[in-house]
A and B are shown apart, each in its own frame.
Chain A
């Protein structure tokens, strides 16, 4: 690695840690209760350049690679997972426009990704993990496409201004188009009342006769399944990073508490039951970290990373829930209280056993990849 690259990464993480400590962590508890980011929170994040971390410099971004981008989300999630997940949803969408967008679309859209949040939407009321079950359509009319449909449970839905949407362009043909909230026919629906990651808005968009030109198609007609899988893969690496951050948070709460607390006259740090739990949290954290970093390294090297990304998410999400459970038990009554963050960390982690493909689907994908070897 060139010396300047290493120095830039060090300076970036120093800034991220400083920003997280001063501007993000203080709101971790309140945004869970308020079910939103605080006023001005996203504007400040945007102004400080977080939206452009992985966007190439030619589009006005910082151009950091997959490994650094994932590490940044890992560090942010130590302070608050919702903030990291909002960036994850934005970055995975940018990734698909970089991979599949035409040069004209990239030139038109990507410079705005420094100031506007992007989102990728697949799920509909008829199903999430079964893309062929969707009913949204894009119909060609002359030189244009007309999009109709209703997308739900979109990470950053309602907050994002640009959406990649999976639609049917024929009864058995899936394609992805890019739409903008300013387009006629675009409107927002309801926001989900989820139990975890409550700072991040997850909501619905309604598309009623939105007209776009052919440049708004990602890839070719029929590429929707491939692009959807690609978005999942990119998201799963970043989720592994977020989950690592959650476990680092759980570990810190557990060890800080154990160092202060006694059971009778015995410090918790001297009890084997504490040792077992703390060691398990630490091992889960470290294995998830190795998995997401491995997947990010493969992505940076241009090699296949789908299986490793699935492992990072499938392993990391259950690991973070279990680690949270151990942390809660170490803190006992305090862990079960809303006054301490452990309970909301468990709820935050639990979301990632479902989002971006269920862990059951991950295991099928991993097993199928192994059968082909």
Chain B
């Protein structure tokens, strides 16, 4: 069984600037870390690998050369290999253009039974790339999985955790699944596995290594237009102190909660 986990490297800091021309996040010169939600997808893949002998976990990302650091971290967690998609032609891609290149890379990797994503990246927060890859691959997709198991030789069952309900879905493999952080607690890479990860294969594929339609790539292949980015005004909240004896303060609290119909 081959599992491909797609991941993204995101800025380590919240102190990012906006490119004045594209209105996109300007990631140049910022130290990066693996998107935290993607670690849940890797942990799921590694749990499946721990439970049976035939699982191969391949990590896939698209970005500049330093994105290899996140691949290496995932390999230190236990993934078998990493593939970095890096080319000037891919730069400036929105979720659609990114999803297209990732899908073409998944095809080249070949025979992937399960393609996993974190629920979203913490920098742009769209959660769109997983579903887009599923569409390009013409595969079933389950998003926001908080629980997942292989329920048959060729089948996966997942519980989706939605805002006010749960939904259980069964999909035929190959399938694309994005996972929620409630699914698991990602393992730490052990010091020994950090060392050994440098013996594992990490491959970089450039534009010419993939079968690509150039009109779908980079800025030109990205229909998303960011017209304005702004920080929301902070919401000012009134603070009402509870005063008097503990009994009086408790009465005030109960009254306040009742007024707001919270109890």
* Interface residues, chain A, with chain B CB atoms under 8 Å away: 4, 7-8, 10-12, 14-15, 18-19, 48-50, 52-53, 57, 60-64, 114
What residues of B have a CB within 8 angstroms of the CB of A19 in the complex?
A: 188
Bound-state Cα–Cα, A164 to B190, Å: 27
The answer to whether B188 touches A18, judged by C-beta atoms less than 8 angstroms apart, is: yes
B93 shortest CB reach to chain A, Å:
26
A53 touching B191 in the complex, CB below 8 Å, given contacts A4-B198, A7-B198, A8-B198: yes
Given A7-B72, A15-B188, A61-B191, list of 7 further CB < 8 A pairs?
Answer: A4-B198, A11-B72, A48-B188, A49-B190, A57-B195, A60-B192, A62-B194
A8 shortest CB reach to chain B, Å:
5
Bound-state Cα–Cα, A49 to B193, Å: 9
The answer to whether A11 touches B192, judged by C-beta atoms less than 8 angstroms apart, is: no
Q: Which of A7, A53, A60, A114 contacts B69 (CB 8 A)?
A: A7
B76 within 8 A of A: yes
The answer to whether B188 touches A57, judged by C-beta atoms less than 8 angstroms apart, is: no
Bound-state Cα–Cα, A10 to B72, Å: 11
B94 within 8 A of A: no
Bound-state Cα–Cα, A37 to B125, Å: 39
A11 touching B76 in the complex, CB below 8 Å, given contacts A4-B198, A57-B195, A63-B195: yes
What residues of B have a CB within 8 angstroms of the CB of A10 in the complex?
A: 69
What residues of B have a CB within 8 angstroms of the CB of A53 in the complex?
A: 191
Bound-state Cα–Cα, A55 to B193, Å: 13
Q: Is the interface of B mostly helix, strand, loop or mixed?
A: helix
Bound-state Cα–Cα, A114 to B193, Å: 13
The answer to whether B192 touches A52, judged by C-beta atoms less than 8 angstroms apart, is: yes
Bound-state Cα–Cα, A49 to B187, Å: 12
What are the 8 A-B residue pairs with the smallest beta carbon separation, nearest first? A49-B190, A62-B191, A62-B192, A4-B198, A53-B191, A49-B191, A48-B188, A11-B194
Bound-state Cα–Cα, A307 to B73, Å: 38
A-B contact pairs, 13 of them (CB 8 A): A7-B72, A8-B195, A8-B198, A11-B73, A15-B76, A52-B192, A53-B191, A57-B192, A57-B195, A60-B192, A61-B192, A64-B191, A64-B195
* Interface residues, chain B, with chain A CB atoms under 8 Å away: 33, 69, 72-73, 76, 188-195, 197-198
- Considering the complex, give the chain B residue whose CB is closest to the CB of A19: B188
A49 touching B192 in the complex, CB below 8 Å, given contacts A11-B69, A11-B73: yes
Q: Is the interface of A mostly helix, strand, loop or mixed?
A: helix
A48 touching B194 in the complex, CB below 8 Å, given contacts A11-B72, A11-B73: no
What residues of B have a CB within 8 angstroms of the CB of A48 in the complex?
A: 188, 190
What residues of A have a CB within 8 angstroms of the CB of B193 in the complex?
A: 49
Most buried by A among B33, B72, B188: B188
- Considering the complex, give the chain A residue whose CB is closest to the CB of B68: A7
A107 shortest CB reach to chain B, Å:
18
B82 shortest CB reach to chain A, Å:
13
A219 shortest CB reach to chain B, Å:
28
What residues of B have a CB within 8 angstroms of the CB of A64 in the complex?
A: 191, 195
What residues of B have a CB within 8 angstroms of the CB of A60 in the complex?
A: 192
What residues of B have a CB within 8 angstroms of the CB of A63 in the complex?
A: 192, 195
- Considering the complex, give the chain A residue whose CB is closest to the CB of B195: A62
Bound-state Cα–Cα, A19 to B189, Å: 10
Most buried by B among A10, A15, A114: A15
The answer to whether B190 touches A62, judged by C-beta atoms less than 8 angstroms apart, is: yes
A228 shortest CB reach to chain B, Å:
28
- Considering the complex, give the chain A residue whose CB is closest to the CB of B12: A14
A201 shortest CB reach to chain B, Å:
23
- Considering the complex, give the chain A residue whose CB is closest to the CB of B77: A15
The answer to whether B192 touches A50, judged by C-beta atoms less than 8 angstroms apart, is: no
What residues of A have a CB within 8 angstroms of the CB of B198 in the complex?
A: 4, 7-8
- Considering the complex, give the chain B residue whose CB is closest to the CB of A44: B188
Most buried by B among A7, A11, A50: A11
B18 shortest CB reach to chain A, Å:
27
- Considering the complex, give the chain B residue whose CB is closest to the CB of A52: B192
- Considering the complex, give the chain A residue whose CB is closest to the CB of B75: A11
Bound-state Cα–Cα, A7 to B72, Å: 9
B124 shortest CB reach to chain A, Å:
23
What residues of B have a CB within 8 angstroms of the CB of A14 in the complex?
A: 33, 73
Bound-state Cα–Cα, A87 to B215, Å: 56
Bound-state Cα–Cα, A50 to B194, Å: 12
The answer to whether A8 touches B194, judged by C-beta atoms less than 8 angstroms apart, is: yes
What residues of A have a CB within 8 angstroms of the CB of B194 in the complex?
A: 8, 11-12, 15, 62
What residues of A have a CB within 8 angstroms of the CB of B33 in the complex?
A: 14
B7 shortest CB reach to chain A, Å:
15
The answer to whether B188 touches A12, judged by C-beta atoms less than 8 angstroms apart, is: no
Bound-state Cα–Cα, A62 to B198, Å: 12
Bound-state Cα–Cα, A35 to B189, Å: 29
A46 shortest CB reach to chain B, Å:
10
A11 touching B189 in the complex, CB below 8 Å, given contacts A57-B195, A63-B195: yes
What residues of A have a CB within 8 angstroms of the CB of B73 in the complex?
A: 11, 14
